[in-house]
């Protein structure tokens, strides 16, 4: 079973609670919006590091920025349709999406071409109100938004 961990940044604005989501990079998600946004996260191997340490490391790798300090609100786990279990924490912080320098990954593209191309892990990062976030986030991860809303109420 694959496991991932991540940090969901949130902030309070005049328009209400907002969360920072990343649009998954690469050719499979290039033209998708709904279901193509995610908590900044990444895989780790249980036993090699804690989920918390992995969440902080992956934040740095995915966004190119140090993870913020602050109270970490545990949001628990969800199981995505691909079977991956994702653990997340929320941290109240503000971040300018223009400062993000995403990490990259390599894959064969086009398929069976023998050519390897590099793509950003996240091709853009944006702040969303909770309603809009629910419309675009990976379906299983919407539970994190609900849990954050309960905590912030």
The residue-averaged pLDDT of 24-49 equals 92
**3 state DSSP class of 9:** strand
Is the bond preceding residue 110 a cis peptide, omega within 30 degrees?
yes
Kindly indicate the confidence band of residue 88, based on its pLDDT and cuts at 50, 70 and 90: very high
Task: Please state which of the ranges 108-112, 135-139, 140-144 shows the lowest mean pLDDT.
Answer: 108-112
Radius of gyration of the chain (CA): 15
Mode of pairing for the β-strands spanning 3-13 and 85-92: parallel
Q: What tokens appear for 117 in the block?
A: 């191309």
**153 pLDDT exceeds 80?**
no
Report yes or no: 9 and 67 within 8 Å, Cβ to Cβ.
no
């Amino acid at each position: 079973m694959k496991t991932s961990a991540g940090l969901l940044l949130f902030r309070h604005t005049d328009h209400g609670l907002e969360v920072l989501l990343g649009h998954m990079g690469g050719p499979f998600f290039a033209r998708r919006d709904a279901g193509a946004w995610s908590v900044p996260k990444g895989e780790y191997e249980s036993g090699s590091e804690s989920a918390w340490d992995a969440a902080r490391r992956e934040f740095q790798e995915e966004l190119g920025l140090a993870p913020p300090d602050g109270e970490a609100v545990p949001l628990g786990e969800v199981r995505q349709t691909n079977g991956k279990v994702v653990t997340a924490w929320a941290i109240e912080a503000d971040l300018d999406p223009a400062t993000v320098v995403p990490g990259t990954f390599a894959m064969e593209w086009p398929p069976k071409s023998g050519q390897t191309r590099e793509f950003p892990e996240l091709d853009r990062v944006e702040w969303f109100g909770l309603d809009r976030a629910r419309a675009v986030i990976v379906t299983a991860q919407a539970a994190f938004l609900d849990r954050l809303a309960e905590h912030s109420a």
